[in-house]
Chain A
Amino acid sequence: DGGITQSPKYLFRKEGQNVTLSCEQNLNHDAMYWYRQDPGQGLRLIYYSQIVNDFQKGDIAEGYSVSREKKESFPLTVTSAQKNPTAFYLCASSMVSWDSEKLFFGSGTQLSVL
């Protein structure tokens, strides 16, 4: 079955540590996105990529980094520069960039700081 897979489901980070969240899709989608969700808040865009080897900063990119070396994969690294990383992270993809009617989400990763 085609879909978008995020791992791990739960992740714990120590102070000063970088961690990487995985996002893989087998939908042959060109566009991929990373969002952050805090309790009682909407999704905020961290980074997005419209095509392989290209990505753009979203609204809250500071303290995060991404890569898009393969069409299927868009990993997100939460660096030690991100001082408040505890949140629910959602990866999404779409065939056409910003086509919300065909936006597929992964099941999310809950990141917590130890």
Chain B
Amino acid sequence: RKEVEQDPGPFNVPEGATVAFNCTYSNSASQSFFWYRQDCRKEPKLLMSVYSSGNEDGRFTAQLNRASQYISLLIRDSKLSDSATYLCVVKNQGGKLIFGQGTELSVKP
């Protein structure tokens, strides 16, 4: 089983749609959780950290469920510019970062 596993993509949605991505992790001792965004053949950039209480940044909401060992990212009112690959990242108890394989999102007009 992979340490970090994401919904297989791609997700093709119309503008204005709400879309949710899920990510599961296998190590219950994992410490921190993040969502990164990666545009095609570009470097990943931190989108947001994921806190136990859940957190929101504009149209983006991240949630963590430690009991079930999953993280989610919700994008509301999706824009064309949201088209990218979203990477789930987990920091394990040794401090190393483990990247998921990414979920590709394509927002269409």
Contacts and interface: CB of A to CB of B under 8 A. Distances in A.
B-side interface mostly? strand
A90 B41 contact: no
Contacts of B101: 40-42
Interface residues of B, number: 21
A25 B65 CA distance: 36
A42 B4 contact: yes
Interface of A: 35, 40-45, 88, 90, 97-98, 100-101, 103, 105-108, 110
Interface of B: 4, 32, 34, 41-46, 49, 87, 89, 91, 95-102
Given A90-B44, A100-B91, 16 more contacts: A35-B99, A40-B102, A41-B101, A42-B87, A42-B99, A42-B100, A45-B96, A98-B95, A100-B32, A100-B89, A100-B97, A101-B46, A101-B49, A105-B44, A106-B43, A108-B41
